[in-house]
Amino acid sequence: MEEKYISNFFYVNKNLLIFDKFQKNLIYYNMFITFIIFLFYGLSFFILGFAILLKDKRFSRLKIANHLNYIAFFGILHGIHEWIDLYILMEKNCIKLESLINWYQIKFFILLLSFLFLLYFGISTISILAKLEVSKIYRYLFLAIGFGLSLVIYYNSIKMKNDILIRYVFGFSSAVISGVSFLIIYAKFRSKHIFGYKNLMFCGYSFIGYGIFSGLFPSNFHFGIVYVAMIRGIFAILIFIFLFKFLKVFDDEYIQHIEDNLRSLALNDRLSSIGRLAMGIAHEINTPLTNATMIVEILKSKFNVQDKKILEKLDSLEKNIDRASTIAKELLLFSKDEKIQSFEKINIKDIMENVKFFIKNHEKFKFVVFNVDKNCYFEGIAHKIEEVLINLIMNAFDAVAENPKIEVSAHCSDKNIILSVSDNGEGVDPEILDKIFDPFFTTKKPNYGTGMGLYLCYNIVKMHKGEILVESELGKGTTFKIILPRYQNEMLNFNSG
């Protein structure tokens, strides 16, 4: 039976020169549905691509935020491909053969390029999330193999005048790998209950579904009256909806960044005033405290006090004077301008030895395990780094009770040095975790803490252009991680000593 081509999916009998009304309406209906599917199929990806590119992702906590641009390139190119497909579909019988071959070459090239962008997104995202370090040689080898395979498949697709090879090799794999990468991202953020990340789960499943029907089924395949192109279009729209909804996360993070900056400016203004006041108070109370300490020492040395109650009172008085003196010193530290400090090349091993010297007389020192890289140099202020580590270790001493375990580690990478202090103590309540670096905030009992220690640690880390992170779980313990750049001046570079 001879047939006349109307579209990739619908055929009519050429011998039927006269169609009844129902047949004509069916043909027009099929062509209209085909037009709508391809129009919105391409539009979904095209708009999604520009939505991703135009979104400000600078302040996102998501490590692979900028990698989403590869999804954008895929979307824009894939949208253009679908519209070219629609044009060929509608005008095929009116296009000259030579021109039609050119359109197929362009169509296949754009389709292949779009899938390559999608594949690169999926592979690079999974490698980042899995923290895989691939050497440049293997990276270039992989790219060379991919490029060679792409050329072979593109050439054979033109020869066959069919895109099934491109879809089977690159379409299926790229969409499935990208879908899996979205599911992995969702799994990592699920426990943090961040609004918006659940959309990545649905987006991941939609990409996998799209990969199956885009790569494993030919374009003219159908399930009854449901054609594969319709299913692809539905998955494309689902990808657009869920990924577009997820993009709102970047707006929320940008707003959060602005709010944090405003709060920081307001806090700095208040702290500047408090600092000036604190310096005055510290100077005023230091003199009487010194006198009081001297008087206690005279009372102990000159008079042979035998009464235990009097001795207890004197000891209590001395402890309270020491505590007041400690608070005065912290107030002075709080009021100092730290910007005048100069950085120098220091070895983390030397820092750790000094820290050990200062804390070795503590009863819980024997429970501390040190794990430190050798010959790890970085630019910093030695006594300030020591102050941070001592403060964190002393906090760990206070946090642990039975079967204490405290680990202090220091490891170097090419650009950063990572310090961490972990304990198996009682942990910190998640509701107050974001307040622990605020000045004068403490969870310790009265007379056991001033609330200035972690605030000073935070400022010292910021002075070194680093960041301090904390992870804590009630009943299991707390880990403080400090990430510092090894070189304050990017032009400097220490080799191994």
Domain containing 241 — which CATH number?
Answer: 1.20.1070
User: 3-class DSSP state for residue 492?
Assistant: coil
Residues 366 and 316 in one domain: no
396 falls within a domain: yes
Query: Percentage of the chain with pLDDT > 70?
Result: 77
Q: What is the mean pLDDT of residues 292-317?
A: 70
* CA atoms of 133 and 357, how far apart (whole Å): 37
**Over the Cα atoms of the chain, what is R_g?**
34
At residue 14, φ and ψ (nearest 5 deg) are -65, -25
491 falls within a domain: no
Residues near 484 by beta carbon (within 8 Å), at least 6 away in sequence: 378, 380, 416, 417, 418, 419, 461, 464, 465, 466
* Tokens at 22, concatenated: 């129902």
Residues 319 and 367 in one domain: no
Q: Interhelix angle for 172-190 vs 97-129, to 10°? A: 30
Helix, strand, coil proportions of the chain in percent (round to 5)?
Answer: 65, 10, 25
Q: Interhelix angle for 68-91 vs 97-129, to 10°? A: 160
pLDDT tens digits for range 336-356: 554 445 788 889 988 998 888
Residues 100 and 33 in one domain: yes
Residues 54 and 21 in one domain: yes
Residues 303 and 358 in one domain: no
Q: What is the mean pLDDT of residues 243-261?
A: 81
pLDDT tens digits for range 53-65: 988 887 777 778 8
Query: Which of 146, 158, 84 lies closest to 118 in space, CA to CA?
Result: 146
Residues 235 and 367 in one domain: no
Q: How high is the mean pLDDT of the chain?
A: 79
Residues 114 and 18 in one domain: yes
Domain end residue (candidates: 212, 246, 280): 246
* Tokens at 436, concatenated: 């622990």
How many Cβ atoms from other residues are within 10 Å of residue 171's Cβ? 28
Residues 348 and 400 in one domain: yes
Top-confidence residue, 403 or 70 = 70
Q: What is the mean pLDDT of residues 273-302?
A: 70
pLDDT at 422: 92
* CA atoms of 376 and 416, how far apart (whole Å): 10
Residues 154 and 286 in one domain: no
Rounded-to-10 torsion of CA 332, 336, 338, 341: -80
495 falls within a domain: no
pLDDT tens digits for range 464-490: 888 998 888 888 889 999 999 988 765
Indicate the residue type of 409. S
DSSP per position, 217-239: S-TT-EETTEEHHHHHHHHHHHH
User: 3-class DSSP state for residue 92?
Assistant: helix
Tally the domains of the chain: 3
Domain end residue (candidates: 336, 356, 374): 336
**139 — pLDDT class (breaks 50, 70, 90):** confident
Top-confidence residue, 279 or 53 = 53
Query: Percentage of the chain with pLDDT > 90?
Result: 14
Domain end residue (candidates: 280, 306, 336): 336
Instruction: Report residue 184 CA to chain centroid gap.
Output: 13
> Which residues span the domain enclosing 299?
268-336
The C-alpha angle with vertex 478 and arms to 473 and 481, in degrees rounded to 5, equals 125
435 falls within a domain: yes
User: 3-class DSSP state for residue 157?
Assistant: helix
